[in-house]
Amino acid sequence: MAFLRRYLRSGAGMAGLLIIATIALGAIAAPWLAPRDPLAIAGPALLPPFTDARLPLGTDRLGRDMLAGLIHGARASLAVGLAAMVAALAIGSVVGTVAGFAGGLVDEALMRVTDAFQVVPRFLLALAFVSTLGPSIGTVVIAIALGAWTEPARLVRAQVLSLRERDFVAAARVIGMHPAEIAFREILPNALTPALAIAALIVAAAVLIEAALSFLGLGDPNIVTWGTMIAEGRNLLRTAPALSLLPGLALVITVLGIYLVSEGIGDALERRGRTTP
């Protein structure tokens, strides 16, 4: 609660929260806001925005409703972003905790694996993974998580290294707790905070990678995503710029919102550092 109060004091955090809350509400309410299949042909092709009250943002090359596409696209973007973040945090924190707590050879081995993943550019890794396994929303999430778990792993490991020398860990040892129990029930919850601060950054990167994959035709073709919309609009950039500008704008606003939230979390954590030494 104290954390939430500190967060709300951050201007950037508030702005970000407002943006993301709006987009998330739209995404959650998509089946009511735009009940038809967003891929259905809804009207004449290439209707410009603001010309038909029934199709406020116009239609694309095949006559699909742009507004429905944007709303449902938000679903895909946020879902992929959050799922990839959760997956990356889960893998990262387990690897980090085990490495930090076990130390020695296990630590060495796990950290070299982490290095191996870190030297491969994230997007390349995702691209290779999706083009091998075929595009579907599941593979896209895993592909993004594969490149994103290394930072939380390193952060958690660093925290664990300092935490495991603390008195409460020694106490836990003394009362005979199993090492795994100490690692995951005593240490991990305390080591997670800095990893949470970068969680928002992982979401933002995931949203962008998902859009880039869809742009290259490696998204799930059965759902609308902003990346696909931009890719399809690109050929008409000069005749119907709205087709790629609108989803592009949605992408920018979403990523900006997520960054502001991450800023807010960062601010809040810093204040805690100052007020409760």
Site for other proteins in 53-92 (CB under 8 A): 61-63
| Minimum distance of other proteins from residue 219's CB (angstroms) | 8
Site for other proteins in 199-228 (CB under 8 A): 217-218, 221-222
Residue 197 makes contact with other proteins by CB under 8 A: no
For other proteins, give the closer residue by CB, 2 or 128: 128
Residue 176 makes contact with other proteins by CB under 8 A: no
Which stretch, 36-44, 95-103, 159-167, 254-262, contacts other proteins (CB under 8 A)?
A: 36-44
Residue 37 makes contact with other proteins by CB under 8 A: yes
Which stretch, 39-47, 94-102, 183-191, 256-264, contacts other proteins (CB under 8 A)?
A: 39-47
User: From the list 235, 241, 252, 270, which residue makes contact with other proteins (rule: CB under 8 A)?
Assistant: 235
For other proteins, give the closer residue by CB, 131 or 193: 131
Which stretch, 17-25, 116-124, 231-239, 267-275, contacts other proteins (CB under 8 A)?
A: 231-239
Residue 49 makes contact with other proteins by CB under 8 A: no
The count of chain residues that interact with other proteins, using the rule CB under 8 A, is 22
User: From the list 121, 239, 249, 270, which residue makes contact with other proteins (rule: CB under 8 A)?
Assistant: 239
Three-class SS of the chain: CHHHHHHHHCHHHHHHHHHHHHHHHHHHCHHHHCCCCCCCECCCCCCCCCCECCECCCECCCCEEHHHHHHHHHHHHHHHHHHHHHHHHHHHHHHHHHHHHHCHHHHHHHHHHHHHHHHCCHHHHHHHHHHHHCCCHHHHHHHHHHHHCHHHHHHHHHHHHHHCCCHHHHHHHHCCCCHHHHHHHHHHHHHHHHHHHHHHHHHHHHHHHHHHHHHCCCCCCCCCCHHHHHHHHHCCCCCCCHHHHHHHHHHHHHHHHHHHHHHHHHHHHHHHHHHCC
Residue 276 makes contact with other proteins by CB under 8 A: no
Binding site for other proteins (CB under 8 A): 37, 39-41, 45, 61-63, 131, 134-135, 217-218, 221-222, 234-240
